[in-house]
Structure 1
Amino acid sequence: MAKRGISLLLVLMLVMSIVAVGCGKNEVPQSTNENVAKEPEKPSEPQYGGVMKIALENNVKNLDPLYIDSTTAEQVMCQVGETLIETNSDCSEYLPCLATSWEISEDGLEYKFKIRENVYFHEGKYQNGRLMTPEDVAYSINRSKGYFCNYLWMLDRMEVTGEDEATAYLTQRDATFLYQLSHSSTSIVPKEEVEGWGKDFTTHLVSTGPFVLKEHLTDQKSVLVRNEKYWGEKPYLDGIEFVIIPDQAQAINALRTGEIDLVFNVMGESTKLVKGDSNLTLMQSPAFRVRDVGFNMEDEILDDIRVRKALLMGTDYQQLAAGTYLYGEGIAACLPLPKKSWAYDEAFENLIPKFSPEEGKKLLAEAGYPNGFKVEVMCKGDAMSMRSLTILQQQWKQNLNVDLQINTVEATTYMDSLIKGTVQMWSGAQTSTSDPATSIGYQFNTAKLHSNYNAWCYSNPEVDKLITKGVEELDREKRIEIYKEIMEKTTPECVGIFFGNDNVSWGVSNKLHGVVQENKSVITISGNGINIWKEK
């Protein structure tokens, strides 16, 4: 078990070293800098040619949409694969892609898609770049059912219902169905390539996207070239090369020397290096990613609402967020719902217990812990989690006499412990979308018990009914009212401390133009109105 401490003096120095954010303690402190993504000034008209080189921090093992296992793999897959629909930059609307239009039946159980004509697959080993058909759409969507967290659980089947038409039949109404069809796990692929390659299709992905997978070396790189038969706007770039560079310092050095054009997840001291280099731009924008410290409500100590509430009352959210985001990696928050969600309401912030150590101590005494207690928190040992936990460790010791022991573990152990419920507390971040169905709709759902979504083991039949209702309702205004009711019922349960919304932070060479940070987990290089080009 690895443990780490930090002096209160150092904590205060960390906090004072950045601009303080917002309002009073345990109210959401607002950032004084929204970190709006910026783009270098274009020196000339867009140019064709050049290869964009991107550093990836983790190996890319699986490119088959069925077995997508990381955002890193998605960065590659989304340049090669295409889906029926896509979302706009802030994920609030659905746009045509391989489907040009769709109709939803009055009962919400049938989705009829008009399939785009004259779209061709990339040339592969088992087909020569043939025309994509509605049969391919039905095959791919049906193949996706049951995979990748079973996000298509509401789908019964998809069938070809016309010469240029395919219809999806659902088992029940679900407002998130279209969003799931925009996910890379539902990319349209040719049956011949899937069956021909077998298990090796995962490294020989073929689809219809603007770039073609030319070479994939699992531990080294993925090389993509422009799809000359692409149905959409012609990509400016000749190709893309994704290079595996696990060490960020090495990646940033490659960015500064020009060997790499873009680095994802720039954090810590690396932000200073990027900001200080006139040849680079640090692009930052809020992500749908909430940083938290969660409580296992089945734990013999944390099952008492008085204990959980006391821990929140002994937490200075403002100091915690400020000390965690030392380099502008995020903005302060206090709710499980991302601030950029269309269902977010500042009124929810008043449901969080106000900072009051004395009241917190009284609650602990009532719960049988007048002298505090010891509790263990698990994390994966990343820099941001360690910063937040060492601050929290000092706050709870000083304010509540609670001893917080920090246990760093491997990622596999971390996930296994959440699933098995063998952890008292944990620290991490949860990623969602603008739709609250993918944040609080998962986090407070009994069906998600003992998973990374609902590891706090919250279960309330009344809330489950509201969650189902929120998904079945297709009218957004009505859905907002439903999720408001869910927040009003769940927030007072104090299942965790949701203290920040992470930023997306990229280091970008000024030779790249047209780079946009959308509210998605991956970059769009060509498509959806975006077409990145590289200055020669």
Structure 2
Amino acid sequence: MIKRIILFMISSLMLLSLLIASCEQSEDTAGTIKQEDTGQKVTIGEEEEKEGEVVEEEGKEMVKDSMGRMVEKPEYGSIYTCFEAFSPQDWDEAFQPTWVSSGSRLVYQTLVEGDYSIGPTGTGEVGWRINPFPFPDYCTGILCESWEIVNETTLYFKIREGVHFQNRPPTNGREMTAEDIAYSLLRMVNSETSYNHKAYPFGREITSAIAVGKYELELTCAEGMLSRLWSGYVGTQGWTVPREAVEAYGDLREPLNTCGTGPFMVVDYIPDSSITYEKHENYWQKDPFHPENQLPYLDGVKVLIIADRSTQLAAFRTGKVEQMTSLTLEDKQYFEKTQPDIMWGKYLFNYFTIGWRVDRKPFDDIKVRKALSMAVDRQAIIDDYFQGDAELIQTICLNVPEFKMYYSSFDELTPGGQENYTYDVDRARELLEEAGYPDGFPTSVMCRSGSEAEMLQILAAYWAEIGVELELDIEESGSWNGRYYSGNYEQMVTFGHNPNRPEMLIQFTDGQPMNFSKVNDPKINAAFIESAATLLTDPERNYALVKEIIQYVIEQAYSFTPPSPYYYVAWHPWVKQYTGEVSIGSWPHFNIHTKYCWIDQDLKKSMGY
């Protein structure tokens, strides 16, 4: 019965994909992206193991990069076109966080960001397809040349000389100094409308930001908060803005008033249509693979605002945009048949987790939680629903290179944790009987429509086998958000399990707004404090601690995480010095690969685009 439900859903999804593909091939989607006969020439189509392989073109000048590889000589010029699903909600970090102030990502910079040279285009040590904590070992200095952990409450930064703001009034391209960074951080934390004011408040995560010299900066925090100081004000938030621009305009919420040190500046914005950026002509950074070359190579970036999924796919298929993320296996299979020259990378991202309220019956009993966990054949879901393209264990932490120090395979779990991932319906029934529910019980889950609801129907079929009747309380995003954060759900709720920050443990720590299972476990609460205190000062201790606590959370069955599917990033082969990086470090660094990549216009034209 369960397998029939899964197969029916797969068949429905495949039919929908075919219908979408058929529509895309036959009509002009939304009247702005037109289908063209591209006359494409297949130049790349090797096995997946050769992801992102450099393909030498005949007649192209080859040079040796800093890693000793023979690669095509980078070319200057061209406009890189990409898309966002929504217009930016804001442009000023003092009002909205960096992840929704998306239009400013190419304009402003933080003290550090992810090191592009250790990602897929470089050594491959990390994937740069998620948004992790900006671990110092994975970072490179941006507005700073170097940093030092002075003690358990103090960070010191040597600020980079020769970094200039973009050439627009009132800064007119002047040099940035440590005073600008100190001003920006304090402005952000003291703005009552900012995310940091609430999440990383003054007096706790930051107690001072002082320019101790023109190119020297000192940041301090309360005891035990050093990693949160680093996260909130060094590598995840903390864009540097010029004081005189804020004083001239009152704020920086208008796109043409933005002025940063980043590689591109906004020159045009049409709400719900497009953002146009031009190259910052006095940008400071050199190419890590070709240190003699000044970045960026591109003359500019064009961001189209495309909300409709079929229009996004049409824009990518016809070469109107260079790259696309969050593609499914079905999308990949379709493109591989129709356009085998497209380049691919796969990655894990946030699927969803079910939080069941452990502060209420019946989920206050670990036997009930274990029973529901053991009643689900996760491997069958992986094999049948996700066509084998998913990962089994993703609670809190994704199986990605960035988190190798925290992740546990099945064999590394405790016996209790392994039991929770083992499909055993008879044992599940025994546990329910021992807990006082021999006939099962009714329950409900608040969720959103779409893939969550589809997966929950599969889980409902499994749980029905042990007498648990699951009702889906489906909400639209607006009302779901309200109930989600207020805790207004009876039994269970689906939520994004924040796999980008496993070291924070915020999903299971008492008092944290993302603790949707309402866990209050002294062992986890203590680990939350110790993790924040040790991440920078004693990383090996931190890694062991967090890995152990994740295993403990799995053993206690404090949530239920279905298998997580892989997603795909795709790009056209004319995008060079790029291998599918999505976010180079953390939230503010989406699309920042555009300062490193370049466009092979000859190849693009030869392929009919």
Calculate the TM-score normalised by the size of structure 1. 0.85
Partner of 1:387: 454
Quote the residue 1:337 is aligned against: 397
| Residue of structure 1 equivalent to 2:83 | 55
Other-structure match for 1:177: 229
Q: Once the 2 structures are TM-superposed, how far is the Cα of residue 534 of structure 1 from its aligned partner?
A: 4.2
Say whether residues 1:348 and 2:393 are aligned partners: no
Unaligned runs of 5+ in 2: 14-46, 61-72, 120-125, 127-133, 287-294, 603-609
The equivalent position to 2:494 in structure 1, one of 419, 427, 446, is 427
1:148 corresponds to which letter in structure 2? Y
Aligned position for 1:163: 214
Alignment partners' CA distance in 1, 2:565 and 2:98: 18
Quick check: 257-266 or 222-231, which moved more?
A: 257-266
CA distance in 1, matches of 2:429, 2:575: 55
Q: Is 1:228 aligned to residue 281 of structure 2?
A: yes
1:296 equivalent in structure 2:
357
Aligned equivalent of 1:447:
511
Q: In structure 2, what is the Cα distance between the partners aligned to 1:165 and 1:35? A: 45
Match of 2:106 in 1: 79
Shift of 1:505: 2.2
The one-letter code matched in structure 2 to 1:185 is Q
1:396 maps to which residue? 463
**Structure 1 runs not aligned, ≥5 long:** 1-5, 19-32
Shift of 1:221: 1.4
Cα distance in 2 for partners of 1:148, 1:157 equals 18
Aligned residue for 2:240?
188
Structure 2: how far apart are the matches of 1:500 and 1:40? 33
Q: Give the distance between the partners of 1:68 and 1:319, measured in 2 at CA.
A: 42
In the other structure, the counterpart of 2:267 is: 214
**Higher mean Cα deviation, 188-197 or 261-270?**
261-270
- Say if 2:593 is the partner of 1:525: yes
Corresponding residue for residue 369 of structure 1: 437
Counterpart of 1:410 in structure 2 is: 476
Tell me the distance in 1 between the aligned counterparts of 2:566 and 2:199: 25
Partner of 1:30: none
In structure 2, C-alpha distance between the alignment counterparts of 1:389 and 1:356, rounded to whole Å: 19
Matched residue, 1:3: none
Could you list the per-position Cα deviations for residues 269-292 of structure 1 after superposition, in whole angstroms to 9, with x for gaps in the alignment? 433333233365253333453532
Note the 1:460-499 alignment, pairs <5 A: 460-473=521-534, 474-499=537-562
C-alpha distance in structure 2 between counterparts of 1:367 and 1:332, whole Å: 27
Residue by residue over 1:341-391, the C-alpha shift from the partner in whole angstroms, topping out at 9 and shown as x without a partner, is 122233126414222111211222233322222222222223x32332121
1:64 — aligned with what? 92
Same amino acid, percent of matched pairs:
22
In 2, the alpha carbon distance for the partners of 1:70 and 1:301 equals: 39
Deviation at residue 73 of structure 1 after TM alignment = 4.3
Structure 1 position 503, deviation (Å): 3.8
Give the structure 2 partner of residue 41 of structure 1. 55
- Please state how far the C-alpha of 1:115 moved relative to its aligned partner: 0.7
Does 2:178 match 1:134? yes
2:44 aligns to what? Answer: none
CA distance in 1, matches of 2:497, 2:108: 25
What is the CA-CA distance between 1:71 and the residue it aligns to? Answer: 4.1
Given the superposition, is the C-alpha separation of residues 70 and 96 from structure 1 closer, same or farther in structure 2, using an over 3 Å criterion? closer
Match 1:278 to one of 307, 331, 339: 339
| Number of the residue aligned with 1:27 | none
Deviation string 1:452-509 (CA, Å, 9 cap, x unpaired) is: x211111123321222112211222111222234234432221212233454522322
Aligned pair in 2 of structure 1 residues 17, 380: CA closer, same or farther (>3 Å)?
A: closer
Q: For residue 427 of structure 2, give the secondary structure of its aligned residue in structure 1.
A: helix
Aligned match for 1:11, one of 6, 15, 35: 6
Question: Taking structure 1 as reference, are residues 377 and 64 closer, same or farther at Cα in structure 2, changes over 3 Å only?
Answer: same
Which whole-Å deviations, capped at 9, do the CAs of 1:190-234 have from their partners, x for residues lacking one? 112223333552534221011111122332211111111100132
Once the two structures are TM-superposed, the CA of residue 177 in structure 1 deviates from its matched residue by 3.3
Q: How many residues align?
A: 504
- Say which is worse superposed, 34-43 or 355-364, in terms of deviation: 34-43
Q: CA deviation at 1:245?
A: 0.9
Give the Cα–Cα distance (whole angstroms) in 2 for the partners of residues 532 and 408 of structure 1: 44
Q: How far apart, in 1, do the equivalents of 2:50 and 2:207 lie?
A: 42
| 8 Å Cα contact 1:134-1:164 kept in structure 2 | yes
- Per the TM alignment, residue 168 of structure 1 is displaced from its structure 2 partner at its CA by 0.3
- What does residue 148 of structure 2 align with? 103
2:566 and 2:508 map into 1 onto residues whose CA distance is: 24
Amino acid at match of 2:284: W
SS of match in other structure, 1:374: strand
The reply to whether residue 358 of structure 1 matches residue 433 of structure 2 is no
Q: 1:502 to 1:109 in 2, by over 3 A?
A: farther
Q: Which amino acid aligns with 1:505?
A: Y
The residue type equivalent to 1:535 in the other structure is Q
> Does 2:163 match 1:123?
no
Q: Is the 8 A contact 1:54 1:260 kept in 2?
A: yes
Q: Which moved more, 1:493-502 or 1:63-72?
A: 63-72
Report which stretch shifted further, 288-297 or 410-419. 288-297
315, 321, 327: which one aligns with 2:376: 315
CA apart distance, 1:36: 7.9
The C-alpha deviation readout for 1:400-445, integer Å capped at 9, x for no partner, is 1222222322223222222221222223433343x5323xx21222
Matched residues in 1 for 2:305 and 2:318: separation? 17
Offset of residue 334 of structure 1 = 4.8
| Distance across 1 between alignment mates of 2:352 and 2:96 | 23
What is residue 21 of structure 1 aligned with on the other side? none
Corresponding residue for residue 446 of structure 2: 378
Helix, strand or coil: the match of 2:485?
helix
1:148 aligns to 2:148 (yes or no):
no
**d(CA) in 1 for partners of 2:469 and 2:50?**
39
Q: Select between 78-87 and 288-297 the one with higher mean Cα deviation.
A: 288-297
Secondary structure in 1 matching 2:432: helix
Q: What secondary structure sits across from 2:496 in the alignment? A: strand
- Amino acid corresponding to residue 413 of structure 2 in structure 1: F
- AA aligned to 1:41 is V
Q: What is the alpha-carbon distance in structure 2 between the residues aligned to residue 321 and residue 17 of structure 1?
A: 17
1:339 deviates by 1.9
State the Cα RMSD in Å.
2.9
